[in-house]
Amino acid sequence: MLASTLSCAQTNGFKKTVLSREFLSEGVAVADLNKDGKTDIIAGYYWFEAPKWVRHEMSPARPFDPRKEYSKSFLNYALDVNQDGWDDVVNIDYPGTPGYWFENPKNKKVAWKKHIIADSVGIGNESPGFIDMDGDGRKDILCSDVKKKQIIWLQAPQKKGDTVWKKHAISTENVAGTDRFSHGIGYGDINHDGIKDVVITTGWYEGKADKSSGDWTFHPADLGEPCSHMQILDVNADGKNDVVAASAHKLGVWWYEQISENGKINFKRHLMSETTSQTHSSIMADLNGDGKEEYITGKRFLAHNGNDAGDDDAPLIMWFEFTPEKAPYYKEHLIDSDSGAGLNLEVFDMNKDGKLDIIISNKNGVFLLENEL
């Protein structure tokens, strides 16, 4: 174990704690891994033990060089996979490769056992969703299978002791949005029929009650360039769900207003922000306690190791408050200019004060932003 060198600062309504300045992971998650009643922070192969943020390895690991390497951990989330009462860690590796999960050793001083999630599936899309697809209270993985070029979801194991992730296809093979490095996917009810649909940048797959039918109808639409996680919500309170998306590697955050053209659903693009580029992850959460969720995103620092224009600009993180009663329907708020975002953000009430905090891991380090709004 390694004691972290911590630093704290106040930043626009948040208290920032720097757990590490090393590049450990682009993914992050939280869970009480040692069952001491305190929520720990997970960054790739490492976890930081609350409350002093002592660093532990789950498996032999090392920091990465942010200007030369990608990590072996693109996205993380915590889940008691085998339902033994101890949270495990799910890790999405480099795009197009199988995902895996680390089995919690229940406080034994041993390396965590690593299990492949589905060795026949190369998990595609750089913004897979951790979503409860079947309504059982456990997060599944919405992504693509790059081998068969299908939109799929991987169902978390259902029974105690079971460790098999079942693949469910919603599309036929060789469809749009299924390349190894595709960007952008979302899940929400576009056509207001009570069944959630899957959204990608080139359109949307119309949901069916049977989430394993493999034949969801695709509706082409222009929902922008390669982006991070696509969020589906009614931005302007007109009763129709819109799509909010941010450019993964260029400049811009937009909302796509759902409109009707010739009796069909289409979308009209509205620019929200050009504050920073490479907003490669997003999440929805109620930060200000008004009962409505806000949109949180930030710059993926050195996304391509410093080889893109603006790649090493200041790593900003910001949130957008939606104001459906008055155009332009949103307000942008800067949180911090020296943290940024990785491939997925996490929100959780870490200090049990009733407010959701933000947790980040990326090439700039590992950060906890405690909400003081």
Q: Categorize the per-residue pLDDT at 114 as very low, low, confident or very high, splitting at 50, 70 and 90.
A: very high
Q: Which two tokens stand for residue 16?
A: 């920032």
Give pairs for 96-104: CB < 8 Å, separation 24+. Answer: 96/122, 96/123, 96/124, 96/146, 96/180, 96/181, 97/122, 97/123, 98/122, 98/123, 99/123, 99/141, 99/154, 102/45, 102/58, 102/59, 104/33
Over residues 265-285, mean pLDDT: 97
Q: What is the pLDDT of residues 326-371, one digit of tens each?
A: 999 999 999 999 999 999 999 999 999 999 999 999 999 999 999 9
Q: Categorize the per-residue pLDDT at 9 as very low, low, confident or very high, splitting at 50, 70 and 90.
A: confident
With a CB cutoff of 8 Å and minimum separation 6, the contacts of 21 are: 5, 364, 365
> So what's the pLDDT on residue 3?
45
Q: Compute the mean pLDDT over every residue in the chain, rounded to the nearest whole number.
A: 95
For the chain, what is the radius of gyration of the CA atoms?
20
Over residues 82-101, mean pLDDT: 96
Over residues 277-295, mean pLDDT: 97
> So what's the pLDDT on residue 86?
98
Q: Which residue has the tokens 């993964």?
A: 248
Helix H or strand E segment including 56: strand 54-57
Q: Categorize the per-residue pLDDT at 120 as very low, low, confident or very high, splitting at 50, 70 and 90.
A: confident
Residue 4 pLDDT > 60: no
Residue 7 pLDDT > 90: no
Q: What is the pLDDT of residues 174-211, one digit of tens each?
A: 998 999 999 999 999 999 999 999 999 999 999 999 99
Q: What is the pLDDT of residues 130-166, one digit of tens each?
A: 999 999 999 999 999 999 999 999 999 999 999 999 9
Residue 230 pLDDT > 50: yes
> So what's the pLDDT on residue 310?
83
Which whole-number Å values give the CA distances from 160 to 30, 135, 220, in the listed order? 22, 17, 41
User: Rounded CA gap, 150 and 120, in Å?
Assistant: 13
> So what's the pLDDT on residue 5?
56
Q: What is the pLDDT of residues 17-48, one digit of tens each?
A: 999 999 999 999 999 999 999 999 999 999 99
Over residues 236-248, mean pLDDT: 97
CA 235 remoteness from chain centre:
20
